[in-house]
Amino acid sequence: MTWAVHCFKAYDIRGIAYSELDASFAERLGQALATFLDCSALAVGRDIRESSPELHAAFVKGLTASGVDVHDLNICTTGALYHATASLKVDGGVMITASHNPPEYNGFKMCRGTAAMAGAEIQDLRAVFESGDFRPSDGSGSHIILDDFTNQHLTAVVSAAGKILRPVHAVIDSANAVPGPFMVALAEMLGSTGSAIHCQWDNTFPNHPPDPTRPKNMVDLAEAVVSNGAEFGVGVDGDGDRIGVVDERGRFIHPDRLLAVFAEDVLTNIPKSASEEARTVIHDVKCSMALEHTIRQNGGIPHMMRTGHSFLKQALREMPQCPLAGEMSGHFFFHDRWNGFDDSLYGFARLVELVARRLPKGEPFSSLFDNIPNFPSTGEAKVPLIGERFATMDAVKEAFSDMVSNQADGVRVRYDGHLGVSAGWFLCRPSNTEPILVMRAEAENEDGLSAIREDVTRRIGHVIDLSLFHSA
């Protein structure tokens, strides 16, 4: 049989349900994962996609046949699954979901212990999957149904967020995805008085895709905030590990600016005499230099690294005193009063707590961003990758070899002091999931941004079609 092994991606396994990912694939994956992890117990959850019950049943069958006790969370958010890996006696966990992808997709997010699997580890699992050399199937594993775990998760979220000092009027939009009912229940527990839209489960996502980092998906939320006179609005992604926000006027707030607000708040509780690690805030290469500025202004140390939620969580494990990490995609990892996992429910709770405390008289939500610079930038351009990925990126690196750059993930070039630009940067990185190059540029002023665009064209315009970059 030919298996769709191309579905083993950088951060997870993801593909078209029923064709690439079917019941036989899921059962075999259960056997392969049990062998690869050599585990005795795993937590397993799923989203509401049409294909999820079938994939879930087959996957559990593969695990239990291989002697693994399955702690079944049933329908839950990915954040709840992550919480399960830390609070239950399990060796890891698996969430069956395709997050914000269209309804025909599905996938598997996997953890070894509390660590999300990624990169080479997933490819090593692929090798075991392909080989079929699995540990003996004796069927000794148990299937344990945990009906109340999602309630336990909500209670833990509320406890860790801290006391809410006043009612907060926030609107929630869950895009009809998994987090909806859980977000509504959480809002009630927090004392949030806002309304909820698109929070009923519908696996066709009839209103808009569940991706809160795209402004076009936040239009309904923006309208609801304005019409209800709410303080702000929160959108969540398909499986509940990312959030996006709009302010009181319905204006979209880029996630790196929200991260700056979180960083400012977290760092106020950390003394300047603390260790460098305790003052470090981790962010990915796509984030604005305004974030770096805010971190430094508040006594912190910015640490830039490659994009990918799994990689940021790995960095937090290597720096256990680091209080916060986040990335442009809306993943936020609180590591002060929480366990460092990206969890939409906790992100929402933490934001409600912050707003109630920092804006005690109901001051405008947008005032939280008054101290954060707003530099001119391009949008995030997704430029088609023509040709071989590594050869193209080698050409980009060579074109900017005379510049100071960070190459942790693609090439992020600093323009500080070049071409009359006092501060600015350009990023070109290959996507881990699509045949595209992700590009973005930012400068202290519009003239600087224009100068960077022109220089990028001069250096790589003959190698890459930059029309989408210039229109971003």
Dist CA 105 CA 107 (whole Å): 7
Asked if residue 382 lies in contact with residue 464, where contact means CB atoms within 8 angstroms, the answer is no
- For residue 9, the 8-state DSSP code is -
DSSP per position, 260-294? HHHHHHHHTTS-TTS-TGGGEEEEETTS-HHHHHH
Q: Which residues of 77-88 are buried (b: 16+ CB within 10 A; e: fewer)?
A: bbbbbbbbbbeb
Give the ranges where 14-142 is alpha helix by DSSP (H): 23-37, 52-65, 78-87, 120-131
What is the dihedral angle through the alpha carbons of 205, 208, 209, 215, rounded to the nearest 10 degrees?
-160
- 99 labelled catalytic: yes
- For residue 136, the 8-state DSSP code is P
Asked if residue 351 lies in contact with residue 168, where contact means CB atoms within 8 angstroms, the answer is no
Q: Which of 51, 52, 66, 99 is catalytic?
A: 99
Tokens found for residue 80: 């709840």
Helices 120-131, 23-37: crossing angle, 10 deg rounding? 110
Tokens found for residue 253: 């707030």
Dist CA 49 CA 44 (whole Å): 15
DSSP per position, 304-357? EE-S-HHHHHHHHHHSTT--EEE-TTS-EEE-SSS-S-B-HHHHHHHHHHHHHH
Which positions are annotated as active-site residues? 99
